[in-house]
Amino acid sequence: MIYYASSLLLIGIGLYALIIKKNLIKVLIGLDLIETGANMLIVSIGFVKGGTAPIFSKEWLVPPLFVDAIPQALTLTSIVIGASQLALAAAFVVVLYKHYGTLDIRKIRSLKW
């Protein structure tokens, strides 16, 4: 239960940073927190208390309890995707800083935000 609560809390903090903060880097940190929270949520959904890794090395060695491995595989995929998106976002921030000389969202408004 604590895993669910803490991952939801992480998502909440991330959303707060995304909406309230005016610094582009802080917005990125918010995005990262949201993603981390979601990934944690997925892993904790597959978690079984006292379970081991679902690896069958010998035929007679079947663990009595094992965690669900699919959510973990999904999390790996989603971490990779998240990392690439954040790298791209960081590159955007660099270019925006070159154009405007500031990281303040309120000053970067050639479009309607």
Min dist CB 34 to another protein, Å, is 6
Between 60 and 66, whose beta carbon lies closer to another protein?
66
* Chain residues in the site for another protein (CB under 8 A): 18, 24, 27, 31, 34-35, 38, 41-42, 45, 70-71, 74, 77-78, 81-82, 84-85, 88-89, 92-93, 95-96, 99-100, 108, 110-113
Min dist CB 53 to another protein, Å, is 19
Distance between CA atoms of 23 and 10, rounded to whole angstroms?
19
Min dist CB 22 to another protein, Å, is 13
Tokens standing for 82?
């998240």
Distance between CA atoms of 33 and 12, rounded to whole angstroms?
9
Distance between CA atoms of 29 and 13, rounded to whole angstroms?
10
Between 52 and 70, whose beta carbon lies closer to another protein?
70
Between 13 and 42, whose beta carbon lies closer to another protein?
42
Q: What DSSP string describes 4-58?
A: HHHHHHHHHHHHHHHHH--BHHHHHHHHHHHHHHHHHHHHHHH--TT-B-----S
